[in-house]
Amino acid sequence: MSAAVLATVMLASSGCRGVDDLAITTPAEPTEVDTIIAGGMVFDGTGATGRSIDIAILDDRIVYVGEDADARFRARNTIDAVGLVVAPGFIDPHTHADADLVSSDADRRANKAYAFQGVTTVLVGNDGFGDYRIADMASAAIESGIGTNVAWLVGFGAVREEVLGRVDREPDAAELAQMGALTRQAMCEGAWGFSTGLYYVPQNFAKTEEVVTLARIATEFGGYYDTHMRDESTYNVTVTGALAETLKIGREAGLPVHIAHIKALGPAVWGHSERMIAMIEEAQASGQQVSADQYPWEASGTRISNALVPRWALEGGLEALRERLAKPEQRLAIRQGIEEAIERRGGSDRLLVTGALGEAEVETGKTLEQLARDQGIAPADAAIAVLRTGDARLASFNMNPDDIAAFAARDWVVTGSDGSTGHPRKYASFPKAYRDLVADGGMMDMARFVRRSSGQTADIIGLQGRGYLKPGYFADVVVLDPERFAPRATYSAPEELSSGVVHLLVNGEVVIRGGAHTGQLPGRPLLKPASCAS
Please tell me the distance from the alpha carbon of residue 114 to that of residue 123, in angstroms, as a whole number: 11
Q: Is the pLDDT of residue 6 over 70?
A: no
Please tell me the distance from the alpha carbon of residue 312 to that of residue 202, in angstroms, as a whole number: 10
**Listed range (5-9, 100-104, 159-163, 340-344) with the worst mean pLDDT:** 5-9
Q: Is the pLDDT of residue 308 over 90?
A: yes
Q: Tens digit of pLDDT for each residue in 467-488?
A: 999 999 999 999 999 999 999 9
Q: Is the pLDDT of residue 252 over 70?
A: yes
Indicate the pTM of the whole model. Answer: 0.92
CATH class of the domain at 93-298+400-465: alpha beta
pLDDT at 30: 52
Please tell me the distance from the alpha carbon of residue 152 to that of residue 130, in angstroms, as a whole number: 7
**Listed range (258-262, 355-359, 368-372) with the worst mean pLDDT:** 355-359
Q: Mean pLDDT, to the nearest integer, of 387-400?
A: 93
Q: Mean pLDDT, to the nearest integer, of 311-315?
A: 93
Q: Mean pLDDT, to the nearest integer, of 283-302?
A: 96
Q: Mean pLDDT, to the nearest integer, of 125-136?
A: 97
Q: Mean pLDDT, to the nearest integer, of 384-413?
A: 95
CA 476 to chain centre: 18
pLDDT at 421: 87
For 79, phi then psi, to 5°, come to -105, 120
Peptide bond preceding 401 in cis form (omega within 30 of 0): no
When pLDDT is cut at 50, 70 and 90, the band that residue 20 belongs to is very low
27 exposure class (CB count in 10 Å sphere: 0-12, 13-18, 19+): exposed
Q: Tens digit of pLDDT for each residue in 223-251?
A: 999 999 999 999 999 999 999 999 999 99
Please tell me the distance from the alpha carbon of residue 250 to that of residue 217, in angstroms, as a whole number: 12
Q: What is the mean pLDDT of the chain?
A: 93
pLDDT at 350: 93
Q: Tens digit of pLDDT for each residue in 318-333?
A: 999 999 999 999 999 9
Q: Mean pLDDT, to the nearest integer, of 96-113?
A: 97
Which residue ranges make up each domain of the chain? 93-298+400-465, 308-397
CB count within 10 Å of CB 103 equals 15
Distances (CA, A) of 296 to 272, 352, 436: 18, 18, 8
Q: What percent of the chain has pLDDT over 70?
A: 94
Q: Tens digit of pLDDT for each residue in 402-438?
A: 999 999 999 999 999 999 888 999 999 999 999 999 9
229 exposure class (CB count in 10 Å sphere: 0-12, 13-18, 19+): buried
pLDDT at 534: 57
Q: Is the pLDDT of residue 11 over 90?
A: no
Q: Is the pLDDT of residue 28 over 60?
A: no
pLDDT at 531: 85
Q: Which residues pair with 225 in a beta bridge?
A: 194, 257
When pLDDT is cut at 50, 70 and 90, the band that residue 25 belongs to is very low
Please tell me the distance from the alpha carbon of residue 530 to that of residue 522, in angstroms, as a whole number: 24
Q: Which residue has the higher pLDDT, 267 or 420?
A: 267
Side-chain-side CA neighbours of residue 276 (13 Å) = 33
